[in-house]
Amino acid sequence: MSDAEPSAPLPALALLEIASLARGVVVADAVAKRAQVQLLFCEAVSPGKYLILFAGGVGEVEESLGAGVQAAGDALVDRLFLPQAHGQLLPAIRQGPRGFPHDAAEDAAGVVELHAVAAALRSADAACKAAEVRLQLLHLARGIGGKAWFILRGPLESVEAAVEAATAAAGEGLLAGAELIARPHGDLRGLAL
C-alpha cells in the first residue's frame, strides 16, 4: 500500500467544532497563536458551525487545543485530539472530497458515514490502524449538513476488519451508516469510488 503512505508522519491532529461562526474565527486565532501548529481547515460548514482542524507535534497540538477550548467557552460543540494520528489522515484531508485515484478493480470498498466530523476522524484513524487498507476518500462536512464520510479500499478481509474498527470507534449515536462492497462495479471508479 505504498501509494497511500505519506512522506512524513503526522504526530498529532486536533479538531474543534464551534457553534458560532464569529467565535470560531476567534478560536482559530487563539489556536494559531498558542503554539506552532499547522492550520489545515478553518471554515464555516453547514449547519452554521465553524471547524478548526490543525496538526503538529503532540505537545504543541495539545497546548493549542487547550487554548482553543478556553477561547470557545460555551460555543464549543465538539473536540478531538489524536496524539498519534495515522499517516493516511493528513493526505486524505488535503486531497479533499475527490479522494485518491485508484487502479485495483479487485479491491473491496468500505464506506463509513458519521454524524460528526470528530467521529469520522476518530473512526478513520481506527480503521487505518486496524488493517492494511487505503483511505481513498475523507469528506469532512462541506455540503453534507455537517456530516462526514470516508471510503476504505483493500483486500476484502482487511476492509471488513477496518470497517468493524471504524464502527466501534464512532461513538454512541454517531454512526450514520457503514457498508461493504466486496467487488465494486467498474463504472463506480472515478464517480463514487
| Fold held by 12-82 | Alpha-Beta Plaits (3.30.70)
How confident is the model at residue 189, as a pLDDT?
A: 66
How confident is the model at residue 186, as a pLDDT?
A: 77
Task: Please report which confidence band the pLDDT of residue 192 belongs to, taking 50, 70 and 90 as the band edges.
Answer: low
Cite the beta strand spans of the chain per DSSP E. Answer: 12-18, 38-45, 49-56, 76-82, 108-114, 134-140, 148-154, 175-181
Instruction: Return the percentage of the chain with pLDDT > 90, whole number.
Output: 73
How confident is the model at residue 96, as a pLDDT?
A: 65
Domain boundaries, the chain: 12-82, 90-188
Q: Is the backbone peptide bond immediately before 47 cis, with ω within 30 degrees of 0?
A: yes
What is the mean predicted confidence (pLDDT) over 158-184? Answer: 96
Task: Please report which confidence band the pLDDT of residue 7 belongs to, taking 50, 70 and 90 as the band edges.
Answer: very low
Task: Please report which confidence band the pLDDT of residue 3 belongs to, taking 50, 70 and 90 as the band edges.
Answer: very low
pTM: 0.86
Q: What is the pLDDT of residues 46-99, one digit of tens each?
A: 888 999 999 999 999 999 999 999 999 999 999 999 999 999 998 888 876 554
Q: What is the pLDDT of residues 110-139, one digit of tens each?
A: 999 999 999 999 999 999 999 999 999 999
Domain 90-188 coded CATH 3.90.850.10: no
Query: CA 136 to CA 113: how far, in whole Å?
Result: 14
Yes or no: say if 92 and 124 are a contact pair by the CB < 8 Å rule: yes
Query: CA 45 to CA 142: how far, in whole Å?
Result: 6
How confident is the model at residue 188, as a pLDDT?
A: 77
The answer to whether domain 12-82 and domain 90-188 are alike in fold is yes
